[in-house]
Structure 1
Amino acid sequence: MAKLTGGGFTNLPPERPSLQAKLVRSHAAFARQEEGLFDDLFVLVLENADTGDIRGTCQIFTHVGQTWPFYSYRIGTVTKHSQALNRTFRAQILNLVNDLEGCSEVGGLFLHPNERAGGLGMLLARSRYLFIARHRARFADRILAELRGVIDEAGASPFWDGVAGRFFGMNFQEADVFNATHGNQFIADLMPKHPIYTAMLNEHARAVMGIPHPTGRAAMRMLENEGFVFEHYIDIFDGGPTMMARTDQVKTIRGAITSTVIGIGEADGAALISTGHLAEFRVAHGYARDTGEGVIVDAVTARLLNLQAGDEIVHVTR
């Protein structure tokens, strides 16, 4: 799947040692028993229960900017007034900032191209929020999501070529691979710290600032439906938008209900149903009927999640 992303997907690099390191780090995070905010990474996967095939993946970072600095560009405005001309001038600028350091992050969402139907992308995306709801003490009060920016058919980034590429002597693909495997400290080492006036950039670079890759538009809509907003932070590599939300105000987290299963049988309320903690966490599309004393879960979902009467679940309306 990493090879199918088409590049620019920093959280899923098609490079075996990097992917292996992610899985090792995720294994350690799932094994950690103490509660609290650590620099952890959780990798979740979407499994076809009938075949056992892995058909998608997503990631949750608990506390960004702890091992490597977390850089963003913030789009701002400088206003100046000339008395001689009796005119006010407003210039758009890019500031290199660490404002989002310490947030949690949802990212790395990728669904196999053959599976992009039937709400599977929504299941994968919202599974992250149910995991956060289940393990709230392990996550920060703010959460972000970086969307991949515009990349052309040749794998080049107009934003990179117009901004950072001028300072680094490498193309976007080279920088992307280096960032995925070594972190972005080289940005701090080489990037000029003074504001960049966007009027000095070429038209192509300006046009893609804060614009998601065409394949990421659906992901942006899903984030917006969850309550994420664009607060003028963009990715330093491809100019893609960074979406922000208060963790407790994310729609799925806010709407998640903890209930006890009191029976397996007929249920008609479409829901996302999760069970288990940490490495035992599972979530599936299913049906749940609230009786006031507990919930009845449909038989198929109960089998998938190995549920029985007395088990605790966290569920949310689909």
Structure 2
Amino acid sequence: MMIIRPVTREDQTAIYELAGKTGIGFTSLPENNQLIEQRIERMLKTREGGATKAEQGYLFVLEDTELNKVVGVSGIETALGLIEPWYNYHVGTLTNASKELGIYNQMETLTLSNNHTGYSELCTLFLDPEYRHSKNGHLLSKARLLFIAQFKEHFSEKLIAEMRGVSDEKGVSPFWESLGRHFFTIDFSYADYLTGIGKKSFIAELMPTHPLYVNFLTPEAQEVIGKTHKNTIPARKILESEGMRYGGYVDIFDAGPTLETYVNDLRIVKALGVWPIKIVSEASADQSTCEVNVPYMVSNQRFSEFRAMLITPIFSDSHLIITEVQAKALHLSSGDSVSAAPLFPAVNKNLKEAQNVAA
């Protein structure tokens, strides 16, 4: 059974092992045990109510309960840029024209921006390659949205997610080689590592603050602006299916796109439903009168003890049927209710019909 739950101190070793598999360009999960420990402590402080808004963050793990093994991690940051500035490039257009000469030119530009300050961020999504099947990636990514949908008061009304930009197998970024290297004179992998461990002040100290003309970059660099690393394309598609879109902002190191949306525009927020549960034995779980043969996410309604998993929904007498094993995994008891949302957009209609029939 695969279950999403909040991170604990006992997960540190497993998360460190996952960090070793991410590769260059995965800024939010550096292979650094001290930083992982510090982040876990910050997450625990958030859940306990002791963190300021600038410090607040959430980290969830995907656990294979049969093996007691953590195989994935995903996170949320509550408010960006309240301690150190949050930087990215805005891709804009500058027009130069001369009516007398009959010349009209539009030039694409990159302008250093802090426009996402205060936004909440989806981050740190990584799944062990051996578990990239059975909709595990969808659960790991979208469970965060299910959490946000239930507890919107803890987050900004606007949400972003940075996608990893293009780099080759050796970690060479064409965008960095054409632009960043001229100002930092260090390798992309080292700049990426410094950002991951929180040393971001060099960005403001060394990056130019005036607009940069994209045409001055190499063709290879121009080509990757707003493009996603091949390993991150599935993660991008998942978020786009939930309503997140590229809004013209890119990472200052590798030019990977930033997806954004209003929280209330998320598909999961609109599809969220609440059902009282009926706990049954495994043997009697198929005796319900109404069933929708599609997966959906179900979670308890506890902020600090959040648990989520995938279930094929079964309804009976206005209740959602939960087996004893599922109830135990989700920390549910008789009389509890669950929050639920279809895993995929195409099944919204099916679930509404099922809810109507069950009622």
**Same fold, TM-score > 0.5, yes or no:** yes
2:201 equivalent among 185, 201, 204: 185
* Kept after mapping to 1: 8 A contact 2:279/2:324: no
In the alignment, residue 296 of structure 1 is paired with which amino acid?
I
2:215 paired with 1:199: yes
Match in the other structure for 1:76: 92
CA distance in 1, matches of 2:297, 2:71: 18
Change (3 A) 1:313 1:37: farther
Structure 1 stretches of 4+ moved >4 Å = none
Q: Counterpart of 1:11 in structure 2: which amino acid? A: S
CA distance in 1 between partners of 2:312 and 2:258 (Å):
33
Q: 24, 48, 56: which one pairs with 1:7? A: 24
The reply to whether residue 97 of structure 1 matches residue 113 of structure 2 is yes
* Residue 316, structure 1, aligned to residue 341, structure 2: yes
Could you tell which deviates more after superposition, 242-251 or 294-303?
294-303
Higher mean C-alpha deviation, range 143-152 or range 258-267 = 258-267
Task: Tell me if 1:18 matches 2:18.
Answer: no
In structure 2, the residue corresponding to 1:165 is in which secondary structure?
helix
CA distance in 2, matches of 1:199, 1:294: 60
CA contact (8 A) 2:251 2:258 kept: yes
Q: 1:230: Cα distance to partner?
A: 0.5
Instruction: Name which of 305, 309, 312 aligns with 1:284.
Output: 309
Which residue of 2 is the match for residue 163 of structure 1?
179
1:302 lines up with 2:318 in the alignment: no
- CA-atom RMSD in angstroms: 1.8
Number of the residue aligned with 1:230: 246
Say whether 1:248 aligns with 2:264.
Answer: yes
Query: What is the CA distance between 1:112 and its match in structure 2?
Result: 0.2
Amino acid aligned to 2:161: A
User: Corresponding residue for 2:298?
Assistant: 273
Identify the match of residue 209 of structure 1 among 219, 225, 232.
225
The 1:288/1:170 distance shift into structure 2, 3 A limit, reads same
Is the 2:175–2:224 Cα contact (8 Å) retained in structure 1? yes
* Residues 270-290 of structure 1: per-residue CA shift (max 9 Å, x gap): 321111423311001113334
Q: Report if the CA contact (8 A) 2:139-2:297 is conserved.
A: yes
Q: Match for 1:259: what amino acid?
A: W
User: Cα offset for 1:85?
Assistant: 2.4
TM-score (norm 2): 0.84
Change in Cα spacing, 1:8 to 1:178, as seen in structure 2 (3 Å) is same
Which residue number in structure 2 is paired with residue 42 of structure 1?
58
Question: In structure 1, what is the Cα distance between the partners aligned to 2:60 and 2:331?
Answer: 18
- Looking at structure 2, the residues matched to 183 and 60 of structure 1 have their Cα atoms a distance apart, in angstroms, of 20
Cα distance in 2, alignment partners of residues 185 and 312 from structure 1: 46
Q: Per-residue deviation at 1:130?
A: 1.1
Kindly tell me the number of residue pairs found equivalent between the two proteins.
317
Deviation at 1:38, TM superposition (A): 5.2
- Equivalent residue of 1:308, what SS? coil
- 1:111 and 2:127 are equivalent in the alignment: yes
Q: Which moved more, 1:120-129 or 1:258-267?
A: 258-267
Q: Is the 8 A contact 2:118 2:156 kept in 1?
A: yes
Give the match for residue 31 of structure 1: 48
Unaligned ranges ≥5, structure 2: 1-17, 344-359
1:167-200 per-position Cα deviation (integer Å, ceiling 9, x unaligned)? 0121111111111113322111111100000011
- Asked if the contact 2:307/2:331 (under 8 Å) is kept, the reply is no
DSSP-derived class of the 2:26 partner? coil
C-alpha distance in structure 1 between counterparts of 2:317 and 2:153, whole Å: 28
Does the CA-based 8 Å contact 1:247-1:253 persist in structure 2?
yes
Question: Superposition pairs for residues 107-186 of structure 1, below 5 Å?
Answer: 107-186=123-202
The CA distance in 2 between the partners of 1:182 and 1:43, in whole Å, is: 17
Contact 1:63 1:105 in 2 (8 A): yes
1:180-237 CA distance string (max 9 Å, x none): 1133221111111000000111111111110000011111111110000101100111
User: 1:87 deviation in Å?
Assistant: 2.1
Opposite residue 309 of structure 1, the aligned amino acid is S
Structure-1 separation of matches of 2:199 and 2:144: 24
How far apart are residue 16 of structure 1 and its match?
A: 1.3
Instruction: Tell me, yes or no, if structure 1 residue 221 matches structure 2 residue 237.
Output: yes
Compute the displacement of 1:33 (Å): 7.4
| Aligned equivalents of 1:294, 1:140: Cα separation in 2 | 32
- Bigger mean CA deviation after superposition, 123-132 or 156-165: 156-165
